Amino acid sequence: MKKNLLKNNMAYSNNIIREFIRSERKKAGLTQKELSLKAGVGLRFIRDIEQGKISYRADTVNKVLRLFGKTLGPVDLIRQEDND
């Protein structure tokens, strides 16, 4: 059960990051390529984030988030009742 909780929270966090970056990029009128150049990360990294791929490094995500005045930080987990 704990493994499922962790997996669900990672997916939830991933969706928040993905949607935030995509939304802010579009508001700023940037293409994925332009964002990658401004953030100093690869285009593939931006594409992977926006497609919801989970495995990426926090320091690299922070390079992108800093452009929008944000950074990763501790977030409370969403707790689910045990159904055991």
pLDDT tens readout for residues 18-74: 899 999 999 999 999 999 999 999 999 999 989 988 667 788 888 999 999 998 876
Q: How many CB atoms lie within 10 A of CB 36?
A: 20
Residue that has been written with the tokens 């990051």 in this structure:
17
CATH topology of domain 2-66: 434 Repressor (Amino-terminal Domain) (1.10.260)
Q: Is the pTM of this model over 0.75?
A: no
Q: Please state, in angstroms and rounded to a whole number, the distance separating the CA atoms of residues 17 and 10.
A: 11
Residue 74: other Cβ atoms inside 10 A: 5
User: Domain coordinates of the chain in residue numbers?
Assistant: 2-66
Q: What is the pLDDT of residue 4?
A: 52
Contact by Cβ (8 Å): 49, 61 = yes
